[in-house]
Amino acid sequence: MAWHWPVWLTLLALPALLLAEHRHNAIGKALTKPVASLGFILLAWTAGASESTYGLLILAGLVLSMAGDVLLLGRARAAFLGGLIAFLVGHLLYVAAFLVRGIDWFAAALAAIALAVVASVLTRLFLHKIERTMRVPVVCYAVVISVMLALAVGTVFEQMSLLILVGAVLFYLSDFSVARDRLLVKGFVNRAWGLPAYFIGQLLLAASVST
């Protein structure tokens, strides 16, 4: 289909971004990360995001995700907090999109219980590593991403869209890679798997506006 071309924009920029990350090349990251993010926004737009409420909500979430990507290029606490807020609102927009799409509430509840267990374990793992002033935003973010994924599961059982499920799972996992890199063990290995998971997940969510 003609609207698939933005996928290649992301997939071609992603290896260049990973190389820049590996070499700690700030200019390379500043050039390639926004391009990779632009790809998933253009994919949603060309796939028909403007034609439905679901599509518009996903598109708005993708735009905020790109804003978060740019903010997280900085290493300062303010940049991290700004990126966190951008992604937090983006996840809330995804939550709204899934609600519009339709939810199997039994499936969503089961997923929420499982994710609550995961979130409690991760909170114990990370919380003592976080500055006191950052703990509330981080916990709020953990709650929102868990709700987002639970509702994605509910949406899949209602609408049978694997694009949504796989995209949401990959996005969820990529958040863990960011948290691990920022709060536990820094290193390229976090970005080596986290960035592909993030960008592929976003591409899948962008593509879901056409289904």
Residues 12-22 as b or e (16 or more Cβ within 10 Å = b): ebbebbbebbe
Q: Which residue has the tokens 């995961």?
A: 118
Name which of 54-58, 97-101, 186-190 the model is least confident about. Answer: 186-190
Q: Six-digit token pair at 138?
A: 């981080």
pTM of the model: 0.90
Within the chain, where are the H helices?
5-22, 26-46, 53-71, 77-101, 105-126, 132-159, 162-179, 188-207
| pLDDT tens digits, one per residue of 32-91 | 999 999 999 999 999 999 999 999 999 999 999 999 999 988 877 788 788 888 999 999
| pLDDT tens digits, one per residue of 113-140 | 999 988 888 777 766 667 776 677 777 8
How many whole angstroms separate alpha carbon 193 and alpha carbon 142?
20
| pLDDT tens digits, one per residue of 1-24 | 555 889 999 999 999 999 999 999
**What angle do helix axes 162-179 and 132-159 make, rounded to 10 degrees?**
160
| pLDDT tens digits, one per residue of 137-162 | 777 888 889 999 999 999 988 877 78
Cα angle at 42 between 40 and 44, to 5 degrees?
70
How many whole angstroms separate alpha carbon 198 and alpha carbon 90?
14
* pLDDT score of 141: 80
Instruction: Calculate what percentage of the chain has a pLDDT beyond 70.
Output: 95
